Amino acid sequence: MNRHNLSAFVVGLVFGLGLLVSGLANPAKVLAFLDLAGNWDPSLALVMGAAIAVGLVTFTLVKRRGTTLLGGPLRLPSARNLDKRLVLGSLAFGVGWGLAGICPGPALVAMGAGEIKALVFTIAMLAGMGLFELLEKPRTA
């Protein structure tokens, strides 16, 4: 395993542990956060706040550096336009997220914890992503 792949594995592991520690991997806690009108659990606002606070500082430093520690380029998304795809896609994502309290990272973590329901969600999610590829093929070919 080369350094890139080893680093990706360790980062994935720490990211997953962060999801577990924070409670974001627990769909019941996510739904309690999204339920503003009920018994609201504000915890996930702090999760996002802390992640972004750390991210704002560190991303600025890394961008100033300009290259990776392994000497490669920073592959940052280059799209700038606020198009219909971005807005409609994100609006729909919120609906899917609110239905079950599961987004892609926590789906994989909960699956790793042996939750059959998370496995079912993940398979459906992969099918949705596969459907996207089928719909996109005529565009890119």
Partner 1 sequence: MTIDWNAFTPVSALAGGAMIGLAAAAFLLINGRIAGISGIIGGLLRPQAGDNIWRIAFLAGLVLAPLAWTVAVAAPDLTIAASYPVLIIAGLIVGLSTRYGSGCTSGHGVCGISRLSPRSIVATLCFMATGFATVYVIRHLGGF
Q: What does the DSSP 8-state code read for residue 23? A: T
Q: Within positions 109 to 138, which residues make up the interface with partner 1, using CB under 8 A? A: 109-115, 117-118, 120-133
**At a CB cut-off of 8 Å and minimum separation 6, what does 22 contact?**
43, 44, 47
CB atoms within 10 A of CB 12: 13
When asked if residue 91 is in the footprint of partner 1 (CB under 8 A), the reply is yes
Closest separation between CB of residue 102 and partner 1, Å? 7
Which 61-90 positions form the footprint of partner 1 (CB under 8 A)?
62-63, 65, 67-70, 72-77, 79-82, 85-90
Q: Are 33 and 44 in contact (CB under 8 A)?
A: yes
Query: Closest approach of Cβ 34 to partner 1, in Å?
Result: 4
- First-residue to last-residue Cα distance in the chain: 33
Of 87 and 138, the one with the shorter C-beta distance to partner 1 is 87
Angle at 15 between CA 10 and CA 21, to 5 degrees: 125
Interactions with partner 1, residue window 21-40 (CB under 8 A)? 21-29, 31-32, 34-40
139 touching partner 1, by CB under 8 A: no
Q: Least CB distance from residue 18 to partner 1, whole Å? A: 3
